Structure 1
Amino acid sequence: MSCIQTIQDYAFRSFGYGERLLPRSDFTLCEQFTLIGSGLLWNIYFGIIAVAVGFVLATLLAVGKNAQSRWARKPAEWFIFLFRGSPLFIQFFFAYFLFLKLKSVSSLFDPLSSAWAGALIVLFLNTAAYSADIFYGALRSLPKGDIEAADAYGLSGWSRFRRISWPTMLRLAWPAYTNEAIFLFHATTLVFFSGFPAWQQKGDALYYANYFADKTFNPFIPYPILAFYFILLTLVIISLFGMVNTRLNRHLPQNQRAKMKIKLNLIR
């Protein structure tokens, strides 16, 4: 089988399109690159949706934690503490069995026992908690002069938050938030190694890398391929978030613009 034919057969297999059966022997380098790359589509799906939805929830949690009202502050603090204080793998584990219980109550909860919905909920709640603490720190670090200027112009409430506090919060928090986004994409590899099963062998990049490592008893080919794909994905994230960072700091002099400093987390 040619490499082009292999790509046609397996490029979208992780989503159920193409060849149904996995190769069983005589694995080629093209097959490993194609299938692991196919699985990476799941990681990208989980990461993009979780970051997008988690960003909104993180903003609300940060505002809640920074609020003077105890009724707004305490729920936000406990939510952040719960999801930052427990390992992501354990969150997947307990969420899966909770969703199974809900599924037994009503068929409306059936999607929650599948990775595409259930694991996605866990990921966006987890990243929302970590991102909220980043945004909260930025809110607490808002320049005093910006707040005084807003007061002088008569801005208060929603107007002050939308025009002054929120843009400045994003500008201050964006480099750290970029690190969180990178780690979230890396953390998506835990989905199919937690409670959520890979249905009909439709797994992510790590699932296929582990498949080839088990079949060939040689992890030194599939795992470097996996690392290569995630390095490329990380470079794309850094580039996209870097453009946003440039946009957020466009009004500042060149020597005052926040620099992107990427620090990879080894463990959550």
Structure 2
Amino acid sequence: MCLYFRYASTAYSSNQEDQSFMVLTILELWIALDKFACASYPLLISYSPEVPLDKGENGKALLRHLLFRKADDLARLKAVDAYIRERRHYSKYDISVFSNKSSSQSFCSKFYDSPAGAGAGMPAMRERIEKDADKKRQVVLAELRVEMKKYRVLTERIEALEHLHGDEEDSELCQFLGLHTGEEEPMVIDGEPYAVQSDGFVRPGRHRESMGFKECRFDESPIPFLQELIGLRRKGTGYLPTHLGKIVHGRLLTADDIDY
């Protein structure tokens, strides 16, 4: 049908009557295909054929602008008009059959719930996808628990140490600074988009690919905040660090975190 339109539209470009024959022929071909499709998938009958017939439908009236002189051609046109009107009469869903919107009336949703969808193995496919995603999600959560445990151990070690105050800060002499300078890299957890998004605790980052792996990175390392806090306490200043209100390793920093 597309091949016919490609050649016929060029050949009949200068003749209005020939163009009308072209449109009528294409519609008759479409009707034959539509009958076959509706016989194979009866659910299609519930959706409009979306062929504009009357003026006022998006400003179009496809069949009203065709030019014919013979009675046989007009009879063919009448048959096409009657078929399209009958199809529209039995349609009961307002949404387009081609719509990809998430709706209970969409063709995708209705087909999934129909016997044809079950026969095509769609519920079984969904179950396999969810099981596979759940396995990958558990792997991501296990990685998260390991990294959070490392962070808690590091925090406990930091809280047990004291910062040595002097004219210059030396991480080799001060265990407090030495511990921080060795842990400056933020924690990174990779996982499937579906697996990460299905959990309310993990906050995934930006998609690398629509269906590929993505990076889930905690917003920032606590090192800059701690270094700034050390400098403020050492200098005896009274204003709050600029990192307050930010997320540091999954936790919101507040003024209560500062020991004056």
Q: TM-score, normalised by structure 2?
A: 0.26
Question: By percentage of residues, which structure has more strand?
Answer: 2
Q: Which has the higher contact order (CA 8 A, sep 6+)?
A: 1
Structure of greater Rg: 2
Q: TM-score, normalised by structure 1?
A: 0.25
Question: By percentage of residues, which structure has more helix?
Answer: 1
